[in-house]
Amino acid sequence: MNTHVSVRSEKDLLGYRDIPNQFYFGVQTLRAIENFNLTHSKISNHPNFIIALAMVKQACAQANHKLGQLSEEKYQAIEFACKQLINGHYHDQFPVDMLQGGAGTSTNMNANEVIANVALEHMGFAKGEYKHLHPNNDVNMSQSTNDVYPTAIRVGLLLSLKGLQTAFATLIQAFSNKAVEFKDVLKMGRTQLQDAVPMTLGQEFAAFATTLQKDLDKINAIAPDMLGYVNLGGTAIGTGINTEAAYAPYAISALAEITKENIQAAPDFIEATSDMGDFVLFSGLLKRTATKLSKISNDLRLLSSGPRTGLGEINLEPRQPGSSIMPGKVNPVIPEAVNLASFQVMANDLAVTLAADAGQLQLNAMEPLIAFKLFESIDLLAKAMLMFTDKCINTVTANPEHCKNLVENSIGIVTALNPYLGYENTTRIAKTANVENRNVLDLIRAENLLSEEQLSEILAIENMIQPKASA
């Protein structure tokens, strides 16, 4: 063995290529690098995907060894290599673009080659000495890209889901904390950007927490189970060609043990190999959350607008100067960034939908786009939520006096008086107040329509922000 050779020669269907010897990937990965340079997002940018690929390969090796198809020496070497990847090593050896032709074959072969070469070194051989352990014959034994790749996507998303769940919970708690902090801040509620009826700022922030909690509950209820059904063992089109009958159950059981997830065999491997419905549904869940995050961001931008001519009910922590020409201007940059991240997730959902629709017959060759966009969306949402929490929500402050003044000067306050004065009277008062630019309460006092005691009772916070208790 000559460890000083700077390059090694590897052969595939198309011929020989020299591979710089410091690389653990091989000839098929090299061709993929040369062919696909479409984005800045490489497999190495998605560590959970690499970990998932290694987990799948380890499970398959375990099944093949159990069936007597893989020697003890080769199995131990492959398992060692897979565990290295699972522990975060060699991730820089996955330089292939996430956006690739070939239905994910480049990704699968990238994993096969890296695992093979790490295993070979562990066995005491040089990289590329595939006669001792081969990327296809050994690492990819009983497998096809068409079952390995979608299974790894599912496992990778399950791994990534944990980070999203944490980000969700953190943001929800931040909104809940502010709901308590602002529980006594009376403000005007608005519909269609017009004055409506009073509420508290705490209620507004509590609603933000509630709507995100609903999404988290839905994701927790649907995603783990949905993503846990895999077609591993189906090989090329779901028929399981080139495998033994016991292989799929062994491999799936091993994968469940390795991942500590509820991994199960899909009811129909042929259907599971071609259908992308689960990914469409998962993407839809992410889009739903993105839509809500964007709406909340818009609300915070409106509520903090000003500082002198906007709503000005809340203050967002200044994060940076807002203008190159307007001195003193500070913009709501964090909610704006959340808007942008949300828009990207919404756009990704369309890409996933189109890719799922483009499947033909027994395989969807557009799966790399689905993988790319789902991993991007889940990562983007998690980062956006954590940024939102840390750089915006935790530091939001209220302007209670300003909020109170807006309520007292609002036309909308007449709604609270409607049960006592009747619709015709309150309509007349509202119109007069609006036309003459007068205060609603001043008009009521001028006409002696209600006593001060009655007004105080009607306008008490507890009576304006919730249904009245039954007598």
pLDDT tens-digit series, residues 258-309: 999 999 999 999 999 999 999 999 999 999 999 999 999 999 999 999 988 9
Name every residue whose Cβ is closer than 8 Å to that of residue 235 and which is 6 or more positions away in sequence.
142, 143, 144, 146, 147, 241, 242, 243
Choose between 99 and 440: higher pLDDT: 99
Helix axes 367-391, 145-181, angle to 10 degrees: 20
pLDDT of residue 469: 67
Architecture of the domain spanning 409-464: Orthogonal Bundle (1.10)
Cα dihedral 347, 353, 357, 361 sign: positive
The domain locations on the chain are 7-141, 160-183+198-228+275-399, 409-464
Q: Is the pLDDT of residue 1 over 50?
A: no
pLDDT at residue 319, rounded to an integer:
85
How many Cα atoms occupy the beta-carbon half-sphere of 38 within 13 Å?
Answer: 13
pTM of the full structure: 0.91
- Least confident span in 359-368, 380-389, 414-423: 414-423
Question: Active-site residue among 44, 176, 304, 323?
Answer: 323
Query: How far apart are alpha carbons 334 and 317 in whole angstroms?
Result: 9
pLDDT tens readout for residues 140-198 = 999 999 999 999 999 999 999 999 999 999 999 999 999 999 999 999 999 999 988 89
Q: Are 281 and 274 in contact (CB under 8 A)?
A: no
Could you report the per-residue pLDDT of 118-129, keeping only the tens digit for each?
Answer: 999 999 999 999
Whose CA is closest to 352, among 365, 339, 366? 366
The most distant pair of C-alpha atoms in the chain lies apart, rounded to whole Å, by 104
Model confidence band, residue 4 (pLDDT cutoffs 50, 70, 90): low
CA 34 to chain centre: 30
Two structure tokens written together for 258? 């390795």
Q: What percent of the chain has pLDDT over 90?
A: 78
Residue 13: CB atoms within 10 A of its CB come to: 7
Q: How confident is the model at residue 115 (pLDDT cuts 50, 70, 90)?
A: very high
Inter-CA distances, 197 with 172, 399, 417, Å = 26, 18, 11
The pLDDT assigned to 269 comes to 94
> If 0-12 CB within 10 Å is exposed, 13-18 middle and 19+ buried, where does residue 275 land?
middle
The class level of CATH for 160-183+198-228+275-399 reads mainly alpha
Strands, E assignment, 289-445: 314-315, 397-398
Asked if pLDDT for residue 5 goes beyond 70, the answer is no
Q: What is the mean pLDDT of residues 404-431?
A: 86
Q: What is the pLDDT of residues 387-417, one digit of tens each?
A: 999 999 999 999 999 999 999 888 878 888 8
Query: Catalytic site residue 323?
Result: yes
Predicted confidence at residue 114, as pLDDT, reads 98
**CATH architecture under which domain 7-141 falls:** Orthogonal Bundle (1.10)
HSE at residue 138, side-chain half, CA atoms within 13 A, is 25
pLDDT at 470: 61
Confidence check: pLDDT of 65 > 80: yes
Model confidence at 19, pLDDT cuts 50, 70, 90, reads very high
